[in-house]
Amino acid sequence: MKDNVQQYPKSGFTRLLLKWNRNQNTRQMPWKGEKDPYKIWLSEIILQQTRVEQGLNYYNRFIRVFPDIQALAEATDEKIYKLWEGLGYYTRCRNLITTARYIVNEHKAIFPRDYETIRALKGIGPYTAAAISSFAFNLPYAVVDGNVFRVLSRFFGIAMPIDSPEGKKIFTHLAGELLDKEQPGVYNQAIMDFGAVICKPVPLCNNCVFNKTCYAFLHGKTGSLPVKEKQTRIRKRGFYYFILEHKGKIAIRQRLEKDIWQQLFEFPLIELVKAPGSKQILLEAQKRNWLQKMDKPVAISPLFKQQLSHQLITGKFILVRLRREPRLKNDWTWVARNKLGRYAFPQFIRQYLQSIATNPGPAIAK
């Protein structure tokens, strides 16, 4: 393998890709061919770190509830977060809100039409700016995402790590050279679709229009390209939530710290590195004045897990019906049990809430 691009005519690659797109590309998505920059932007933000199958329903719901950027900008944070609930990576949602209100206030609800202004918007990187620019306004900017990295590294035999600064420069430059400047939106969609349906992590090489010229296929390197140099380190965290119930109401608070799940709601939390025994976790809750000695758990859930990109969250939920209302900090709110559905919770907590909705009387786990 080589770090330099193999000497294959770039015009030939582009021509064959566009031919495949015209004759064989059957991939359907509701935003394909869309020219409204608001809808393109929304779809791209939703699809960051999200599978198309999952993001599709969220996209449709957002368009139904917020048909234009004005409607999104005027909605409350709570309503938007509730609609986003379950998608994860909530920084995307915060940036979505910020950018929508900025465009409404600073651009009179008209989405910017030039790449540099779009690129400067909160939460929009080079890829998303190129997608919006090319799809909505036919501007000549090439998208470079995971699909594009994979296609180009395999076809041209590029062993430079895609997550290195030099690698990103090489791929960005090559993508720009290959771009059809007259129909950049069509080309960008074609190469992303090709990476999604043909040049997948496990590619369909026998059905590939490039299998006579693809470096990786001809040299048996499809399994080793593209190359990444960084290994993701997973941080393990133990979350133990107390469902404190008093007179039919349950204590919740909004996570405002710079951490995962910012702006979402949660129950009183004790985070411990090592899994505690029942006595240890109850003593810790008593130290925080959440419980009195006479307060005993009604139920302790089984272990729940959620895998995030860089973190593994495990933990349990301890339901306690209190005899007296504890002295919690001012940022806590007591909410009726049947009103919890109005609040946006992280997926980890939603798993628990869904489990007790189907089985309202779980046994105490040992």
Fold of 10-218: Endonuclease III; domain 1 (1.10.340)
What is 51-97 written as a DSSP string?
-HHHHHHHHHHHHHH--SHHHHHHS-HHHHHHHHTTS--THHHHHHH
Q: Which of 348, 248, 259, 254 is nearest to 303 (CA)?
A: 348
| Residue reference for tokens 């779980």 | 362
Q: Active site residue: 44, 78, 257, 284, which one?
A: 44
Residues forming beta bridges with residue 238, ordered by sequence position = 272, 314
Per-residue model confidence (pLDDT) at position 211: 92
Cα(68)–Cα(215) distance, integer angstroms: 45
Per-residue model confidence (pLDDT) at position 11: 72
How many CB atoms lie under 10 A from the CB of residue 299? 17
Mapped onto helix, strand or coil, the DSSP state of residue 269 is strand
Per-residue model confidence (pLDDT) at position 366: 30
Task: For residue 235, give Cα distances in angstroms to 231, 307, 351.
Answer: 13, 10, 21
Phi, psi of 333, rounded to the nearest 5 degrees: -130, 140
| 74 catalytic residue (yes or no) | no
| Domain over 235-358 is classified CATH 3.90.79.10 | yes
| Residue reference for tokens 């939390």 | 269
Per-residue model confidence (pLDDT) at position 359: 63
**Burial category of 12 from C-beta neighbours within 10 Å (exposed 0-12, middle 13-18, buried 19 and up):** exposed
Cα(24)–Cα(16) distance, integer angstroms: 11
Under DSSP, the state recorded for 341 is G
What is 177-229 written as a DSSP string?
HHS-SSSHHHHHHHHHHHHHHTS-SS--GGG-TTTTT-HHHHTT-TTT-S---
Domains in the chain: boundaries:
10-218, 235-358
Phi, psi of 355, rounded to the nearest 5 degrees: -70, -40
Residues forming beta bridges with residue 246, ordered by sequence position = 249
Phi, psi of 161, rounded to the nearest 5 degrees: -55, 135
- Write out the two tokens for 23: 């004759």
What is 23-37 written as a DSSP string?
HT-----TTTT---H
Q: How far apart are the first and last CA of the chain?
A: 55
- Residue by residue, pLDDT tens for the chain (366 residues) are 444 455 556 778 999 999 999 999 999 887 888 999 999 999 999 998 788 888 899 999 999 999 999 999 999 999 999 999 988 888 999 999 999 999 999 999 999 999 999 999 999 999 999 999 999 999 999 999 999 999 999 999 999 999 999 999 999 999 999 999 999 999 999 999 999 999 999 999 998 999 999 999 999 999 999 998 877 788 999 999 999 999 999 999 999 888 999 889 999 999 988 888 888 899 999 999 898 888 888 899 999 999 887 899 999 999 999 988 887 878 899 999 889 989 999 999 999 998 887 665 543 333
Per-residue model confidence (pLDDT) at position 133: 97
Per-residue model confidence (pLDDT) at position 278: 80
How many CB atoms lie under 10 A from the CB of residue 324? 10
pTM greater than 0.85: no
Per-residue model confidence (pLDDT) at position 52: 84
HSE-CB at 27 with a 13 A cutoff on CA atoms is 18
